[in-house]
Structure 1
Amino acid sequence: MTVSWQKVFSTLASERLREAYARAVLGEDVEAGSREFSKLVESELLLSDGSVNDAMFKDVLGAAAHARPQGVDRFFREGRLDGLPAGQADRLAVLEHLADRLFPAGQELDEPVVNLLVATLTRDIPTLRRAFVDSGFLLRNPDGTRYRRVSGG
């Protein structure tokens, strides 16, 4: 059974249960009624023999830890681009991922539409738009008013 940090905190929110748990940690008699003792065991603060569950906090923290993002996901925070990667391979991977996600292949888009799409990812619209063009994911008309997605970079 994996216990959540919420269960631990809700158990320790009770002054009586906190005192009983503190006594157990100090090696004293727990002095808790059967109902209180059951709550301490259910929250995994105590083992069924009344001893302190030393592994519980480590288990709760491990369960709550978020996995580190992999691939292009590591360059995003809360769904927005955290910045273009410095490394060329990572930069191209991120731009290709975004171009595939944002721009329909072969379709021409007006600059305001491109700007709206890019704005969903970053506040620095000109830099990201230019990166798409410089890396070959978007072709810009000579007058700069229309863009077209191309495959590959």
Structure 2
Amino acid sequence: MSVHSWRPLIAALADDRAREVYALVVLGRPLDAHLSSLSPGKRRRVLETLQGAGLISPVDGGWRADSEIFRTALAAASAPARPEGVARFFTDGRLSTYPSRAADRQEVLAHIATRVVQPSETVGEAAITDRLAAITDDPVSMRRYLVDAGLLARTPDGGTYTSASSSPSGGPS
């Protein structure tokens, strides 16, 4: 089955009359009264659409619902690629989940640090907070986490920040 095998299912179920007939088949109800209300051409098209989509199949002069078609279509559909590494904690460039594992936290913090300050760049407190606000809902706490993790160095008065790898001491102050 192809990755587009869901299309005939949706097309069949998008038709009100086909959906009604399918519902009756699923519920095990008789179709004669409902089908007789349709013109012969429409009756034929509805049944062909449902059968062609794999939703129903003939059995003993009637019809039965084939639910396996849904599992088959889902199995054939391509699943979106799962993000890996630090990307799994971000949605549209913003931190969506703060990791609970220390190793993951350190990776996420290192990633954020490289996004907010370049090596040998000195940035004021307000600018760092603004840059972090583009990444996280709590930029003040994130600034503290980056300093505590040794990824940002700040001056004693807290007015400016640099990448800890470019600070004279190589670590937080």
TM-score (norm 1): 0.73
Match of 2:65 among 37, 49, 52: 52
The answer to whether the Cα contact below 8 Å between 1:138 and 1:149 also exists between their aligned partners in 2 is yes
Where do 1:88-103 residues align within 5 Å?
88-103=102-117
Deviation at 1:9, TM superposition (A): 4.9
Instruction: Give the % identical residues.
Output: 35
The residue number in structure 2 matching 1:19 is 20
Cα distance change of structure 1 residues 61 and 78 upon mapping to structure 2, 3 Å threshold? farther
For residues 114 and 59 of structure 1, what CA distance do their matches in structure 2 show? Answer: 51
Deviation at 1:141, TM superposition (A): 1.5
RMSD (Å), alpha carbons:
3.5
Contact 1:11 1:17 in 2 (8 A): yes
CA distance in 1, matches of 2:57, 2:151: 59
Query: What are structure 1's unaligned runs of at least 5 residues?
Result: none
CA 86–66 in structure 1, closer or farther in 2 if over 3 Å, else same: same
Question: In the alignment, which of 111, 116, 137 is matched to residue 130 of structure 2?
Answer: 116
In the alignment, which residue of structure 2 is the partner of 1:71?
85
2 CA distance for matches of 1:81 and 1:37?
50
Q: Which residue of 2 aligns with 1:34?
A: 44
Which of 24-33 and 128-137 deviates more? Answer: 24-33
5+ unaligned residues in a row in structure 2: which ranges? Answer: 36-41
Q: What is the total number of aligned residue pairs between the two structures?
A: 152
Secondary structure in structure 2 of the residue aligned to 1:147: strand
CA gap of 1:123–1:148, structure 2 versus 1, over 3 A, is same
Query: Hey, what's the Cα distance between the residues in 2 that align with 1:47 and 1:117?
Result: 60
Aligned match of 1:139:
153
Q: Name the counterpart of 2:38.
A: none
Q: 1:61 and 1:11 mapped to 2: Cα distance? A: 16
- Cα deviation for residue 40 of structure 1 reads 2.2
